Amino acid sequence: MQQLPETMRENVRLLGELLGETIRDHEGEARFGKIEQIRQLGKTINQSEDDDPSALVELLEELDDNDILPIVRAFNQFLNLANIADQEYGASAEAEPEDGLKAMLLNFSETYGREKLVEVIRNLRIELVLTAHPTEVTRRTLIRKYDQIVTTLSDQQRGNLLSFEKDKIGGRLHRLVEEIWSTDEIRAERPTAVDEAKWGFAVIENSLWQAVPDFIRHMDRLCSRHLDESLPLDLQPFCFYSWMGGDRDGNPNVTHKVTREVLLLGRWMAAELYLRDVQGLYGDLSMLAASDELKAVVGQSDTPYRDYLAGLRTKVQATLDWAEATLKGQQPAKPDGIIESREDLLQPLMLCYRSLREVGLPHIANGPLMDTIRRVYSFGINLVPLDIRQDGERHLNVMDELTRYLEMGSYLEWSEAERQEFLLKHLQDKRPLFPTQWPVSDEGAEVLATCKVVASEPREALSTYIISMAQQPSDVLVVALLLKECGMGWNMPIVPLFETLDDLDRSAQVMDLLWQLPWYREYTDGKQTVMIGYSDSAKDAGKFAATWAQYKSQERLVQLAEKHGVDLVLFHGRGGTVGRGGGPVEKAMASQPPGSVKGKIRVTEQGEMIRYKFGLPKVAFASFSTYVVATLRATLEPHEAPQEQWRELIERMAQASLEGYRRVVRGHPQFVPYFRSLTPEQELGLLALGSRPAKRKATGGVESLRAIPWVFAWMQVRLNLPAWLGTRQALEFALQEAPATLNDMVDNWPFFSSFLDLLEMVIGKADTPIAAYYEKQLVPKELHPLGQELRADLGALEVLINRIKKQDALFESDPMLRQTLSVRKPYIDPLNYLQAELLKRHRSGKPFSEELERALKVTMAGISAGMRNTG
């Protein structure tokens, strides 16, 4: 078996030893001994042939209640520390993330020519949308400590350390581990939407602020050395946006006041960061030589750059003071002379840049000054322009209230043609439609108040308006009318989000009708973003059928956009898990339909994935490199469209999968009670998770449950059902009907082979004996046959995967992943067994202490950490 890299193994060992010492010091030798006994037994069971957990279960059942919390905390923290070692290695020089970019540039420059490659690089636009995560369980104070450990481990890798430096680093690591052990892992209070936005800003301040200019500088150097072309100063390969404080879909906690506060926080945070930059430049740019252009502005001066930057510093300080006073509720009138656009920042910085270049000081011009200019292009005046997202039904209800009040009839009862006629008439009418005063409901008033906030903000502070559950062209037009009536002075891009299977199938038809409307073509200026929903489509139809529906939808939209001459950007609403469209960036990009990338892509990055990919400058740098390589490859070397026989087969496979999935989730009378008794779905309420409720509506069954907690609950019990249910039926159908075509798809269609790779990873993370243990402890006996059926389904699917991939066991082509999962299993398994026991006690109605409730919460956090995703 391939071993983990030496550096990673050494870091895991070191952190494990420090944790052990800390536990021994704080909990005593006896308790530490029990933890070690459980750990060693878990490893022994994992390495044995029969994999019989009865000895471990027996040991755990004999634990005193007082021992349970420290034990689950120990295993939880070990898994977090293992993740840290993994993260540090991924961003280390040993992993050499930039090598892939350099090799690709050299390869593509030979294949496509330097000019073509440089043109594509200059037009790269990778839009990353930061979103909060409703099942992010780790406290942010601990995230900061984990980040400090990563940095300290990196320091330890430096060569030629003096002995006192080694001691200092060792002491810092020990101290951090002790701080972590002494900190409560579980939040006591649910974060607000504003708290989530602050966390997003912190990622920018602590990581992206440095990583973005560093990476662009690196790209520029590579292009200069290997392509003989420098990149322009205004290059924006990465653009960042946010849903935190703007995503009100099913979240009553995101109000128009929250949105206004988050936008203001962004202005304040941006001003603070730019002020630091300008103060640094004020100290750096002490030179005398200046261009005539600069001298004409500042006059005679021994320090022309400082004199000139003093004005910018005053302006940024005024912006900071105004934003801070407004946030404190002092509501000062907006003063003249504050930063209102990128140009307010760029104009003085660019003048200094031009002057330095002109007087022969290019190295100074290309130093921190250039970094600040690139930050302005990347982060603008509020760091991350905000997307507004709202459920389409809310807009319809507002319009219905209006038409009823104006005695025009019920908007909800009109046909689609009648709605479009009404909306287009009033969109083109210069007179207002909305009365000054009318008895609108509280829900309707909130929709209108949000539109008014959007209309009052600087254009640069906002991005797009996203409509969840978009179904008809009128769903887009009604948003345009609401914005117009609320005073909008510019054409905010409106993005339909197609989520369910039916909506995905209808997406091209909807966009075709929209793009045929002259008014809408003029409104969009030939540019359109369409969002593809991964989470809800998978929950609606199962992973296999949804994945094929997403592919077809994108394919049709790309063809349609070309027909209408529309510049289309596909917005991928991916989650962290495979069940919600997640997975490695390279596989995701390689499996896109041909022509769907073209150097531009927009993707959500969610919760813990933001932390894993962008939480530290070195980690972010590596992630940027991966994104650029994958996007360039998908742009320049898109895979050919699938062959007709592949299409015919996968269409029938998808139908078999859909029937298999819905037969269980929708058709089996015992499915909902089985799900609710087996998983900790009901207990999720104990955790102070994100600001968004777990359900879109207070009432309703599984269908109203959000996709994220749906995935989270199944992941906790190690069955991972949302990512594979229905897939066995698809593969069995293909093997029976067209085995040669199936083999051809595996060998020659990256979309399909990537799907199988991700499916293999999901199955490898599942554990049917543990799921059976939950069933034994928690599920009424009359429901057990369903559980046996599901586990048999998963077992049969594993056999099929191995057969199709022509391997004897999972992960033959990825032994590193197999080793990683093997190392984590002895630490996750005890958490699962203890969680099942704690759930049983919690549901019994007998007294359940605060300590045990906390232990139950920690098991959820630990299993999430061990599985490397929360939902």
- Catalytic annotation, residues: 133, 539
In angstroms, the CA 660 to CA 669 distance is 15
**Residue indicated by tokens 């988050």:** 262
DSSP state string for 438-467: ----HHHHHHHHHHHHHHHS-GGGEEEEEE
From 578, 590, 493, select the one nearest 544 (Cα to Cα). Answer: 578
DSSP state string for 791-850: HHHHHHHHHHHHHHTT-SSTTTT-HHHHHHHHHHHHHHHHHHHHHHHHHHHHHTSS---H
Strand partners, 30: none
Residue pair 57/773 in contact by the 8 Å Cβ criterion:
yes
Alpha helices in 245-369 (DSSP H): 256-284, 292-298, 304-327, 342-358, 362-364
Task: Write out the two tokens for 58.
Answer: 């027996």
DSSP state string for 119-168: HHHHT-EEEEEEE--TT--S-HHHHHHHHHHHHHHHHHT-SS--HHHHHH
Residue pair 661/725 in contact by the 8 Å Cβ criterion:
yes
Hey, is 494 helix, strand or coil? strand
Strand partners, 470: none
Residue pair 129/602 in contact by the 8 Å Cβ criterion:
yes
Hey, is 387 helix, strand or coil? strand
Distances (CA, A) of 532 to 572, 656, 727: 5, 23, 21
In angstroms, the CA 138 to CA 253 distance is 21
What are the backbone dihedrals phi and psi of residue 507, each rounded to the nearest 5 degrees, phi first?
Answer: -60, -45
DSSP state string for 651-704: HHHHHHHHHHHHHHHTT-TTHHHHHHHHSTTGGGGGS---SS-SBSSSS-SGGG
Distances (CA, A) of 573 to 307, 394, 826: 47, 21, 34
Angle between helices 98-112 and 209-227 in degrees, nearest 10:
40
In angstroms, the CA 47 to CA 67 distance is 26
Residue pair 141/183 in contact by the 8 Å Cβ criterion:
yes
In angstroms, the CA 756 to CA 183 distance is 41
User: CA torsion sign, 251 to 252 to 254 to 255?
Assistant: positive
Residue type for position 821? L
- Distance from CA of residue 133 to its chain's centroid? 8
Alpha helices in 28-64 (DSSP H): 29-47, 54-61
Distances (CA, A) of 687 to 696, 719, 860: 18, 21, 9
